């Protein structure tokens, strides 16, 4: 018997340890603007557009005011699309039995990949100037890009953690 009330497995292994994650992360895309920042940008651009539109109308260039209004609508729609895209995420989990990657879109659609950790490796595409550009999980002719919506610095950090976790799992076997 092991110390405490937890009995030891006859083979010396804990069967529950195979389901315990060695690595788990939720990867979210970079957001360039907070909701407060969005409001400030819209107010600032709106004020500039309003002042410039008034000046153009007084100078007799009244159609320009309409184009400033269209620009504001375009800016608002583009930033809203960016916020919606920011709701997407990736989940990565590595256990001794499985490498699981799930990608959830901003619409809630989920796609999942599962790999044997012993057959899985990471490939990297790096650029001298811009850093780690692409990080890919590869297992038996299947390639899935990981952390595709984060900065190269964050991608590098994730790559180090994934490499460490895969090595830990492979060392255990």
Architecture of domain 15-27+88-172: Roll (2.30)
- Nearest CA-CA partner of 131 in 112, 109, 150, 107: 150
**Opening angle at CA 42, ends 39 and 45, nearest 5:** 145
Confidence (pLDDT) at 16: 58
- 135 pLDDT higher than 60: yes
- Nearest CA-CA partner of 158 in 31, 32, 27, 22: 27
156 contacts: CB under 8 Å, gap ≥ 6 = 131, 132
DSSP assignment string, 42-75:
HHHHHHHHHHHHHHHHHTT-THHHHHHHHHHHHH
pLDDT mean across residues, the chain: 87
Structural contact between residues 42 and 75, judged by C-beta atoms closer than 8 angstroms? yes
Confidence (pLDDT) at 51: 94
Q: By 3-state DSSP, what share of the chain in percent is helix, strand and coil, each rounded to 5?
A: 45, 25, 30
Stated pTM of the model: 0.70
CA–CA separation, 30 and 33 (whole Å): 9
Mean pLDDT of 39-48: 94
Among 17-26, 46-55, 112-121, which is the least confidently predicted range? Answer: 17-26
Mean pLDDT of 135-148: 92
Confidence (pLDDT) at 53: 92
């Amino acid at each position: 018997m092991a110390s405490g009330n937890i009995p030891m497995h006859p083979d010396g292994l804990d069967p529950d340890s195979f389901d315990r994650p060695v690595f788990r992360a939720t990867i979210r895309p970079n957001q360039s603007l907070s909701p407060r920042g969005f409001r400030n940008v819209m107010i600032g651009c709106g004020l500039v557009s309003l002042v410039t539109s008034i000046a153009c109308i007084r100078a007799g260039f009244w159609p320009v005011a309409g184009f400033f209004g269209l620009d504001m609508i375009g800016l608002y729609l583009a930033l809203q699309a960016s916020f919606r895209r920011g709701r997407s995420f990736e989940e990565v989990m590595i256990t001794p039995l499985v490498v699981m990657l799930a990608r959830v879109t901003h619409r809630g659609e989920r796609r999942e990949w599962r790999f044997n950790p012993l057959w899985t490796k990471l490939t990297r595409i790096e650029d001298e100037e811009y850093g780690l550009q692409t990080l890919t999980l590869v297992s038996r002719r299947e390639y899935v890009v990981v952390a595709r919506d984060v900065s190269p610095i964050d991608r590098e950090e994730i790559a180090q953690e994934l490499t460490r976790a895969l090595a830990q799992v492979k060392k255990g076997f």
